[in-house]
A and B are shown apart, each in its own frame.
Chain A
Amino acid sequence: GAVVSQHPSRVICKSGTSVKIECRSLDFQATTMFWYRQFPKQSLMLMATSNEGSKATYEQGVEKDKFLINHASLTLSTLTVTSAHPEDSSFYICSARDHLAGGAQYFGPGTRLLVL
């Protein structure tokens, strides 16, 4: 199957700093990418949907100024957690849709964020 990479896999930062997470589709073009957040022992919660070249669509309750999403190319989307606080600590997962493969959706390995 297709591969989606995420970088970094793990990050520890101080409260107040910003953290950028990259999501790349390695062998296909993804016009649509999704960002999820997952708390321990819980399901994936969709944060936002990003379409290449346009603004992301955020789910209700997700602060767009807090979680900046950029999808500047067909293979790269970034999530920036601005002024991170301990409550932002979580597991963030990206997913990319391959429209040429019947819309199959592939997931990245996730990024564990710990804000001290």
Chain B
Amino acid sequence: AQTVTQSQPEMSVQEAETVTLSCTYDTSESDYYLFWYKQPPSRQMILVIRQEAYKQQNATENRFSVNFQKAAKSFSLKISDSQLGDAAMYFCAYRSAYRGSQGNLIFGKGTKLSVKP
């Protein structure tokens, strides 16, 4: 079974600085997807970024980028120029690309990010 581990329960960053959230996963599959979701106090889950395992290039979305290390099974999220609105819970998630799977997301326990003004 696949697992996702987020080893940082809480992180803090100064506004305008850069912060990196860690995520590791365990799988025996070769094809899968990885995601970072943000859950602000409203509790609405928002997709931040997505990475296909077959792509070597790291995904980037504006101030958000990932460092995907497939061999190490690591998928960290870097937030540049942090803003107050970035404060939220961040969940790393895995999804199998195997055709026979249900395709459900497997979540890590989350990292609570605080942004200091």
Distance between A39 CB and nearest chain B CB, rounded to angstroms: 12
Q: How many A-B residue pairs have CB under 8 A?
A: 48
Interface of B is mostly: loop
Interface size on A, residues (CB 8 A): 21
Name the distance in Å between A15's Cβ and chain B's nearest Cβ.
24
Contact of A43 with B108 in the complex, beta carbons under 8 Å: yes
Contact yes or no, B42 A109, CB < 8 A: yes
Residue of A with least CB distance to B44: A109
Whether A57 pairs with B102 at a CB distance below 8 angstroms is yes
**In contact, B45 and A49 (Cβ under 8 angstroms):** no
Provided the pairs A1-B47, A93-B45, A110-B44 are in contact, do residues A105 and B105 lie with their beta carbons within 8 angstroms? yes
8 A Cβ contacts from B59-116 to A: 91, 95, 102-110
Q: Can you list 12 contacts pairing A with B, beta carbon distance less than 8 Å?
A: A34-B104, A43-B109, A44-B45, A46-B105, A49-B104, A57-B102, A97-B103, A103-B33, A104-B50, A107-B44, A109-B44, A110-B44
